[in-house]
Amino acid sequence: MAKITKISAQKRPGRYNIFLDGRYAFPVSEDVLIQYALQKEMVIDEPFKQELMAADANSQAYRLALNYLSYQLRTIKEMKTYLRDHEVDAETIVQVVERLVDQNYLDDAEYARAYVRTSMALHLKGRVVIGNELRQKGIQPNEIEDALALYDQETVVENGTKLAQQVWKRQSRFAQRVREQKVKQALQQKGFTGDEISLIWQELDLVVDAEEESDALDNAAEKALHHYRPLSDRQELQKFKQSLARKGFSFDAINEWLDMHSE
C-alpha cells in the first residue's frame, strides 16, 4: 500500500505526475485524474496502481486516435494500423476502437458512402477502382455494395465521357486509332467496365478531321526526324516509319508525307 503525497502538473497540458510516499511513481492524464478522483492522501495498492496505468495508456491512445481523426474520416482498419504503428498494445487498440465506434467517430459504412461521393464527383473514378480502394481500406463487401449504389449509371456515363474527352485532348500527337486506344485504356484504368465503356462511347464524338490528322502527322514526323536521319539510310528510314506507325499513322500516310517532304 502507498499513499499519494503529491500531484503536480506537467508542462504538457492535461498531464500530471503522481507521487507515492514522497517519490515520483507514474504519470496520468487529466481524464484519468478526474475519472478516479485522485487526490492527496489517497491510499492505493499495487493492483489499483496497475489499473491507473492501464487507464492512462488507454486515455493516451484515445487522444492519439482523436487527433488522427481530426484531419479526415478513417476506416476501422486504418485506425488499427495507425495505433499499432504508434506502439499501442493490442488490447488497448480493441478498447479504443470499440469506444470510437460506439461514439460514431468510426463508421465504415458512412466512410464508404463519403468516399464514393468524393471519388465520383472530384476524381472521375469508375466503380471498379472505387470498390478496390475501399476493399484495401478494410471496408466489408456489403458496405461497399451499398455505397456504390449511390453511383448511378447516368453519372457513370457522364464521368466517363468527361474523362474520355480529357484524355482525347491530351493525346493529340497521335493518330485517331491510337488516340481511341489510349482513351479506352484510360477508362479501364480508372475503373470503368467494358459495358460502361460501350455506353460512354455512344456519347462521344471523337472524329478527327483530315486537317487535324495531317497536323498531328506533321508534328510527329518533325520530332522523329531529330532521332532518325539521314533518311537516305534504309535502316534509319525504317526506324522513322516504325516510330510514326506506333503512334497510329498508316504507312500510306507516312509514305505520302515522305513524298511531300523528300529531301
**What architecture does CATH give domain 153-203?**
Orthogonal Bundle (1.10)
* Phi, psi values for residue 205, rounded to 5°: -130, 85
Q: Are residues 66 and 42 in contact, defined by beta-carbon separation less than 8 angstroms?
A: no
DSSP code of 12? S
| Distances from the Cα of 125 to the Cα of 47, 171, 197, angstroms | 55, 20, 13
Burial class (CB in 10 A: 0-12, 13-18, 19+), 46: exposed
Looking at the DSSP assignment, which residues form a beta bridge with residue 19? 6, 24
Q: What percentage of residues in the chain have a pLDDT greater than 70?
A: 85
Please report the pLDDT score of residue 207 as a whole number: 65
Please report the pLDDT score of residue 173 as a whole number: 73
What is the CATH topology of the domain spanning 108-148? Arc Repressor Mutant, subunit A (1.10.10)
- Residues with Cβ < 8 Å from 47, sequence gap 6 or more? none
**What architecture does CATH give domain 2-102?**
Orthogonal Bundle (1.10)
Please report the pLDDT score of residue 180 as a whole number: 87
Q: Where are the domains of the chain?
A: 2-102, 108-148, 153-203, 210-260
Q: Are residues 4 and 44 in contact, defined by beta-carbon separation less than 8 angstroms?
A: yes
Please report the pLDDT score of residue 27 as a whole number: 92
* The C-alpha cell that represents 217 in the structure block: 502527322
Q: Which residues of the chain have pLDDT under 50?
A: none
Please report the pLDDT score of residue 23 as a whole number: 92
